[in-house]
A and B are shown apart, each in its own frame.
Chain A
Amino acid sequence: GAGVSQSPSNKVTEKGKDVELRCDPISGHTALYWYRQSLGQGLEFLIYFQGNSAPDKSGLPSDRFSAERTGGSVSTLTIQRTQQEDSAVYLCASSPHMTGTNQPQHFGDGTRLSIL
């Protein structure tokens, strides 16, 4: 597709269950970002992937959160043993990478996660 695709668009699950959120970046974009946007809050950086480099995981809030990026393309954000405070919109973005500069990030529409 032409843009960043995220699935599912909405996810409702019970507290304690594991969830997987998927992000398909724009073809050719080597940088991929995950953010979390809680109700009434700003965007919170979670994790950043760039090519084959080790990801920047400094924003992950706890060890229940993990993310993978397979083949330098699709990424999966996994939340284990979900808690009610994990309820938020999870946004993925991608950008091309040019040495020494950033390029604009292109965002998906997000996955709205609700923990009951």
Chain B
Amino acid sequence: AQTVTQSQPEMSVQEAETVTLSCTYDTSESDYYLFWYKQPPSRQMILVIRQEAYKQQNATENRFSVNFQKAAKSFSLKISDSQLGDAAMYFCAYRSALGNQFYFGTGTSLTVIP
């Protein structure tokens, strides 16, 4: 089974500042998909951003962007201009292009300081 590692259990950022959450994964596949999900206190899982391994350009969604380093098997999430509403648990996830299962990291709890 693939392994997804989030080495930062907790992170904090000042409001309006930038923060980067790290994610690494272990795979022998060449084509796969990577995702970042946000889980606010409401518990609802919300897709933040996604990336396909074959696309060299890093994905961007408004204030959220990724730094995808395929050779290093790294998929970090950058949140710019942090807002109070960004406070949540963030999960990194992996799916092989040929697979049905998703593999999740253990999550990073992000606190936004006013």
Partners in one complex: no
| B contacts, CB < 8 Å to A | none
Q: Which residues of A contact B (CB under 8 A)?
A: none
